[in-house]
Structure 1
Amino acid sequence: MRNKAYRWLDFRGALQKCQIHLVDFRKFQNKEPYDRIVSIGMVEHVPLNDLFEYYVKAFQLLTPGGLFLCQGISSSSTSPF
């Protein structure tokens, strides 16, 4: 999956502007804050009791005024399927 994402970024001319990280969000650290963080299709895999920590971590990694884009699938149903 990571290789496909890198090829897509390269095709779009954005490879030098972006980073891709496949890591447990609780263990992720970075020396410099980010101007933008994009999380696509990940939030629905975060256990409910870890959601607050997920959002706090994302905002801690942002520069002041930075942008966090979080795209996920949601449902109003309580069914697990």
Structure 2
Amino acid sequence: MGNVEREQFVAVQKNGDGDLTAFRTSSGRVLDYNQAKEEVNAGNIAGVNLFKGRDGELYIRGDADGDPTNNLDQLPRFE
């Protein structure tokens, strides 16, 4: 497989409730939430993982590393 650099999320879109709805990757791709979940599940995005919420749905979250500045909610927004 080689040493391929995985993409990272570098910016986010949020809805009026503050929920994440889309992501921009380090390569410039824009993914809606479902596309992003597929990419995370496939292991293509570094620094994030999926977890199952109380409602049984899968959600994207940043890997716990003790650094709040790189949480997904802290990423810059894009239009």
TM-score w.r.t. structure 1 length?
A: 0.25
Which structure is larger by alpha-carbon Rg, 1 or 2?
Answer: 1
Tell me which protein shows more helix as a share of its residues: 1
Tell me which protein shows more strand as a share of its residues: 2
